[in-house]
A = this chain, B = another copy of it.
Amino acid sequence: RALTIGLIPGDGIGKEVIPAGRRVLEALPASLGLKFDFVDLNAGWETFEKTGVALPEETVQTLQSCNGGLFGAVSSPTTAVKGYSSPIVALRKRLALYANVRPVKTVATAKKPIDMVIVRENTEDLYVKEEKTYDTPEGKVAEAIKRISEKASTNIAAMAGEIALRRQKIRASGAPSIHKGPLVTVTHKSNVLSQTDGLFRTASKAALADPRFSSVKVEEQIVDSMVYKLFRQPEAYDVIVAPNLYGDILSDGAAALVGSLGLVPSANVGKTFALGEPCHGSAPDIQGQGISNPIATIRSAALMLEFLDEEEAAAKIYAAVDANLEEGKLVSPDLGGTAKTEEVLQDILRRL
């Protein structure tokens, strides 16, 4: 099978980790029968500075003819700059990548193992970015719309249910697990936002009440309590589904639990396309030193493959990364090690 993959390194360490992701894909064993074509694409702050556009139309259009992509990270200006707006937020909407899937796990031998996936709605909520500002006698007032639809909530909850079932299948097929059965935790703040988050809650629960999810246990948590529980008993959670903004916050929180954002992958998933994206940012402070952790991107490449139905190839990559981390010898500075990006990459490549 031939797969065309768009590569958008973006800014900062995006330029160091995306090439690592590419090399892992290229190094997959021939026996898997995968052939990759890579297309280099632009987006981000540097692109904006050069061209006045953060997300060139060509990038969007080329991606539309790709099977998948890898997005690095982009730098944002610290103050609002006219005409600039986040290319990843725009891409998610333009390509209808309705789910942001963020698995957060420790190695299986960790003292306190964690193994959860945060499934974040990726197209609406406050991310519709419909804002306005007006003057009043008491000063400026700004308003933003938080929009929640039954349709998007239903779709994301169904995705969470599918992922819970898939994880259970993998668990059942051997690997020892901290989870007994599939569990989806629906997160919201419907005690304050009875209509918007109330709709997310009822639509999610209705979607998960479908007979195909009959083996999935469904619970709910108010978002503030969810953050509390995430830190008090993270081992209890399997799949967490949340509206866009809560998902953004929860996934950074979960990343903190496994030691570094440099380990946490994500995939922006649409009906027929998946865009892998490390959860970390462009980290200008460490850019150019060759010490960025490539694992979040390498795992994002695997996650992308999973959603392109190449589960065997994905499993190979996960296993190589896990073996690197289990051994714990060649690890990057964010994890307390001294290995360079290239050394971590080489160690993972030889384990493929």
Contacts and interface: CB of A to CB of B under 8 A. Distances in A.
Interface of A: 76, 80, 85-86, 89, 126-127, 129, 131-133, 136, 138-151, 154, 189-196, 198-199, 203, 223-225, 227-232, 245, 248-249, 251-253, 255-257, 261, 281
A191 B141 contact: no
Contacts of A251: 224
Given A142-B195, A230-B256, 19 more contacts: A86-B191, A89-B192, A129-B193, A131-B194, A131-B196, A133-B195, A138-B149, A139-B154, A140-B149, A140-B203, A142-B198, A143-B196, A145-B145, A227-B249, A228-B252, A228-B256, A228-B261, A231-B253, A253-B253
A127 to B, nearest CB: 6
A140 to B, nearest CB: 4
B245 A189 contact: yes
**Which of A136, A151, A227, A232 is packed against the most chain B CB atoms within 10 Å?**
A227
Contacts of A127: 192
Contacts of A198: 80, 142
A89 to B, nearest CB: 6
Contact of A232 (B189, B225, B256): B256
B147 A141 contact: yes
B196 A224 contact: no
Contacts of A149: 136, 138-142
Contacts of A227: 227, 249, 252-253, 256
Contact of A199 (B140, B145, B193, B252): B140
